[in-house]
Structure 1
Amino acid sequence: MSTLKTTPLIEVYKDYGGKTIDFGGWDLPVQFSSIKEEHQAVRERAGLFDVSHMGEFTVKGDRAESYLQKLVTNDVSKLKVGGAQYTAMCYEDGGTVDDLIIYKKADDDFLIVVNASNIEKDFEWMEKHLVDGVRLNNISDEIAQLAIQGPIAEEVLQKLTSTNLSEITFFKFQDDVEIEGAKVLVSRTGYTGEDGFEIYCQKSDAVMLWKKILEVGKADGVLPCGLGSRDTLRFEARLALYGQELTSEITPLEAGIGFAVKVDKDSDFFGKETLKLQKEEGLKRKIVGLEMIDKGIPRTGYEVFVGENQVGAITSGTQSPTLNKNVGLALVDIEFAPLNTIVEVQVRKKRLKAKVVKTPFYKRA
């Protein structure tokens, strides 16, 4: 039997009431109090997540930028030092290898953050296409990552550092921030639809930082949060999840992250021709939001029908804690994608009515 991978915080989860599950081979907390309580804390105050299972690679060398330009869909040449960029990596046919974030530390030095379940696959893909003058390293085992998310995230984290966090604006970062004696990289990014920061630190500093942040945030109602609320939060904000909205069979355009696809950039990149055609000719299918009319929750994999024809399938779905509505994301044939289209979702043995609605389901004011 294979042993589950763990983060440096595995020993302190239980001190905070953490209930862990097997998440893609990792022993991670699904919740500490309750998913709804944690979800609400992030929407109204702030929550702290352990996301140390994420993968980190370094790409260094004179040709680092041109190498990345060949691999990813966004335009890396637009990235300035101290900036972060969301992008996707595609196969030749336009299917998605992964979605990731690139941090530019210097003209010849980039940090790449990838999804935990894709670390080995992504590294192999990047290594396969390595060019002279570029050094690629997998530093995932050296790095821990915490995320403090919510309207008061800055206020709470500011209590622990002399760095002016208000100067780190959205999708920017600083990599020499000192928090309680630990040198960390702090970026204004996240996966919840709220303001907040992601903190990259040495593994040995993770427990101390976790405890300190919760300690200074306790009076303000900051809660430790697990995977359950991370999923409901990202879902409401319509942030794609690899393996559901993005897969090797689903292109970034079909998934709705076209803003990260620059088919007009000078560099060729894997999948460019397919994605260019999809942009020019129009999509044959796309991911849309669904709101249930009949009572029932649309779950991942449930089939979507119009009449007797299956026209798509649910990629993610839940009862939205913020809206208190049963909603889902579904990959459907393009003719059934317009707003207010009525479809049916196969929930167990029943077909329940739903309508296509605008996304994101939630957007912060």
Structure 2
Amino acid sequence: MQPPVISRPLEPALFARSPGLERHRVAPGGLTVVALEPGDRLQVIDLEGDQAAELLAFAGNRPALSALGLEPSPGAAFIGHLLHDGSAEAAHVGAGLARSGIDSRHLPAAAQLWPAGTPAGFSRSFSAAEALLVLVAAPGGATPVDSQLRASELRLLIQRANPRSSLAPPLPAPLGELVDEFTISPGTARDYVVSAGQTIQVIDVAGRQCSDFVAFDRRGLDAGREIDLDPTVTRTLNGNAYPGPGLFSRFYDRDMQPMLEVVRDTVGRHDTFALACTARYYEAQGYFGHANCSDNISRAVAKHGVQGRPGWPAINFFFNTGVDAHQHLTLDEPWSRPGDYVLLRAMTDLVCASSSCPDDIDPANGWQPTDIHIRVYSDKERFSIAMANRKTPDADPVLTRESGFHPGTSALTRQFVDYRGFWTPTQFDGHGTIEEYHGCREKVAVMDLSALRKFEVLGPDAEALLDHCLTRDVRKLAVGQVVYSALCYEHGGMLDDGTLLRLGADAFRWIGGEDHAGIWLREQAEKLGMKVWIKSASEQIHNIAVQGPLARELLKQMIWTPGTQPKLEELGWFRFLNGRLDDYNGAPLMVSRTGYTGELGFEIWCHPDDAMAVWNRLWELGRPLGLVPLGLHALDMLRIEAGLIFAGYEFCDQTDPFEAGIGFCVPLKTKQADFIGKDALLRRSAHPQQRLVGLELEGNEPAAHGDCVRVGRAQVGVITSATRSPVLGKNIALCRLDIGYCEPGTELEVGKLDGQQKRIRAKVAAGTVAYDPDKSRVRA
């Protein structure tokens, strides 16, 4: 007799699966305050290794390190320094401590939790003997670009001795001055009034709980008109012919007037803007009389003179729906985790209603409806516009950031997109994509690429780890040299591509696109028992690309180098130097002769605090040379012409480097050392199925990413990237193609519509590089 099959999915950080466990993040160079009750257990984890940790504890206003079994450490004064740095954050924490009777001006010595040199994942645990307020800090500060001493984050895990009886974690702290707040229990809805300029925060308290939202123009209701939020108008004005998961930047009413602006979204996946759940839905499933959001909303808004409806068109926050390839509506458990929220600014006076969905018959609320919490903030509050990213499923969300160059780029454009967690310009007002493109091809262009991820790899086993993890032969890399490489999984699929810089015998810097690359490198080091540290440096190093035929002429006027480093004009391709801005006393910089445009180019790497000094100097010297700013749209044209690949387009974890068109960075014949994925890559290279090729299209109609490529009715490939090449005067594309059709000159057809009704004739080009195939310009 077999036992019953039990579902045990892996669900990191879902509160309902471990209601007694709390996670908190201590930012690099920052601190976090948590409250403990008697018997609670606190674990402090050094995630990346070699990161100091300080802790202070108070019982009431009395120092109480002994309640955790700790003693003060001489010289542990970082917390005190941090609370007196004059920042708004320090003032906020100081005010909070004052409310508990703690004078932040006269803090006792903290406890240092461990010595230097701790390995990644090192931790200590403490049990609270009494009720405590605990401050934990990750000491660190601004670090020059030529230093590797980066602060890194700590993680706090609190195991509560007496978990809350309800399946609801504590609410996150308010974001600003509150006008109103309330909790909506599952199976209910509530109305509320919001004035223009005020901000609404819809919080999923325990995670995986959807909430329907409707809104009416308050002045319209006063005049006897129901002017409500309209899904069709909203989709149309946002340029979405069909609904899709996620949120629009603005929501409109039936008169096409803006009602709400999305300020923040920490989830990124919501409803397709369908109806709130209805009585008819539950009745069709056999659940007669089941509570439903539409009826609840009708009751909530009736007091405002709004006529009830059997089904309300609503924004359904956190509801994970989609439209499949057959135009069927699909649903699954929400992506939201405890404390996730959406922040919306009212653009006019509104009457709103929000629900906490009662659906417990399908995955809509993770099978267990929980609370929704609403907060309304004063119109005096200003919140940064942001979305959220997580390094791992159980990590805290990190809101979209602005690079050190943002004051400069934002003065030239309002066209930004969240690119890997940073606001990055797509094009510039007063220039435009075509002008930016020609500026790079003919003169010189500058672009903010701070969103690239940077990791310091340090220690006696740094070279051995990287040689084991990267496809390139790292042992051949000289100090001052850069190499392009891939990171592959065991099955040969790519994790990331990027550049590796060797700063010293045991010091490297990996620059790529994936946060997970640092975690993955750390995991490999742990498996092998290596003495090496992988430290995140993305927040301490921001970078700007200076690309184009006049790039060298521009930069040689502003980069000073000591005698131990090459001059800017002497810097070779895929080499870097450590220098200063203008002179001996200028801001420290690193300049590499690298880029992503196919032109002569450089990248400048600096601390965020020095970014605007670099930006201003570039424009001061660059204007006489015709310097233009460069956005992502123009960069895409440039890199496609140059045959340069992009994550999510030319490669993913199912694509090996050969299929991605970068087989040159996998020296299977010459690299003697074993490396991750080697066996799989040997098999794949011996029996290739697909290759990346360039296509030239006939006529003026473009291809697009994801278009099918066919011979007759059979699909033999897919377009990975495509553009109209201004300098070549033709449409070109990169295509992953069946190996049997890769001979240059082979005629193919790019399928549009359904792939059959419309075709664009194309032929296979001589290579993937459409512009300057000999790379004479980039080597100039």
Scaled to the shorter chain, the TM-score interval is: over 0.9
Deviation of 1:6 after TM superposition, in Å, equals 2.1
Aligned twin of 1:27: 423
Deviation of 1:294 after TM superposition, in Å, equals 4.2
State whether structure 2 residue 760 is matched by structure 1 residue 352: yes
Cα distance in 1 for partners of 2:626, 2:620 equals 10
Aligned twin of 2:598: 193
- For 1:236, give the aligned amino acid: E
Cα distance in 1 for partners of 2:759, 2:418 equals 32
Deviation of 1:182 after TM superposition, in Å, equals 1.0
- Normalising to structure 2: TM-score of the pair? 0.45
Asked whether the equivalents of residues 18 and 30 of structure 1 are also in contact (C-alpha less than 8 Å), the reply is no
Deviation of 1:257 after TM superposition, in Å, equals 1.0
Asked whether the equivalents of residues 557 and 582 of structure 2 are also in contact (C-alpha less than 8 Å), the reply is no
Partner of residue 641 from structure 2, selected from 210, 232, 236: 236
Structure 1: segments with no counterpart, 5+ residues: none
Deviation of 1:12 after TM superposition, in Å, equals 2.6
- For 1:355, give the aligned amino acid: K
Aligned pairs for 1:252-263 within 5 A: 252-263=657-668
Deviation of 1:179 after TM superposition, in Å, equals 3.9
For structure 1, which segment, 25-34 or 331-340, has the greater mean C-alpha deviation from structure 2 after superposition?
Answer: 25-34
Aligned twin of 1:122: 517
Aligned pair in 2 of structure 1 residues 176, 295: CA closer, same or farther (>3 Å)? closer
Cα distance in 1 for partners of 2:542, 2:611 equals 6
Aligned twin of 1:297: 702
Cα distance in 1 for partners of 2:479, 2:410 equals 39
Name segments (4+ residues, structure 1) moved above 6 Å. Answer: none
Cα distance in 2 for partners of 1:249, 1:83 equals 30
Aligned pairs for 1:262-341 within 5 A: 262-264=667-669, 265-279=671-685, 281-341=686-746
Asked whether the equivalents of residues 31 and 225 of structure 1 are also in contact (C-alpha less than 8 Å), the reply is yes
Asked whether the equivalents of residues 493 and 654 of structure 2 are also in contact (C-alpha less than 8 Å), the reply is yes
Asked whether the equivalents of residues 46 and 150 of structure 1 are also in contact (C-alpha less than 8 Å), the reply is yes
Aligned twin of 1:214: 619
- For 1:16, give the aligned amino acid: L
Deviation of 1:277 after TM superposition, in Å, equals 2.2
Cα distance in 2 for partners of 1:292, 1:319 equals 10
Cα distance in 2 for partners of 1:296, 1:154 equals 37
User: What is the aligned-residue identity percentage?
Assistant: 36
Aligned twin of 2:568: 165
For structure 1, which segment, 297-306 or 22-31, has the greater mean C-alpha deviation from structure 2 after superposition?
Answer: 22-31
More helix by share: 1
Aligned twin of 1:362: 771
- For 1:336, give the aligned amino acid: Y
Aligned twin of 2:191: none
Cα distance in 2 for partners of 1:158, 1:80 equals 24
Structure 2: segments with no counterpart, 5+ residues: 1-264, 267-385, 387-399, 562-566
Question: CA RMSD of the aligned region, Å?
Answer: 1.4
Asked whether the equivalents of residues 214 and 224 of structure 1 are also in contact (C-alpha less than 8 Å), the reply is no
Aligned twin of 1:70: 468
Name the SS for the 2:706 alignment partner.
Answer: coil
Deviation of 1:123 after TM superposition, in Å, equals 1.6
How many residues get paired?
361
Cα distance in 2 for partners of 1:294, 1:225 equals 28
Deviation of 1:122 after TM superposition, in Å, equals 1.1
Partner of residue 203 from structure 1, selected from 608, 612, 622: 608
Name the SS for the 2:658 alignment partner.
Answer: helix
Deviation of 1:362 after TM superposition, in Å, equals 0.4
Name the SS for the 2:426 alignment partner.
Answer: strand
Asked whether the equivalents of residues 8 and 207 of structure 1 are also in contact (C-alpha less than 8 Å), the reply is yes
Asked whether the equivalents of residues 46 and 151 of structure 1 are also in contact (C-alpha less than 8 Å), the reply is yes
Cα distance in 2 for partners of 1:10, 1:102 equals 26
Asked whether the equivalents of residues 158 and 165 of structure 1 are also in contact (C-alpha less than 8 Å), the reply is yes
- For 2:553, give the aligned amino acid: E
- For 1:197, give the aligned amino acid: F
- Normalising to structure 1: TM-score of the pair? 0.95
Deviation of 1:233 after TM superposition, in Å, equals 0.8
Deviation of 1:347 after TM superposition, in Å, equals 2.0
- For 2:770, give the aligned amino acid: F
- For 1:290, give the aligned amino acid: L
Deviation of 1:295 after TM superposition, in Å, equals 3.7
C-alpha deviations, 1:99-138, integer Å up to 9, x for none? Answer: 01000011100011011xx12x212211111142111101
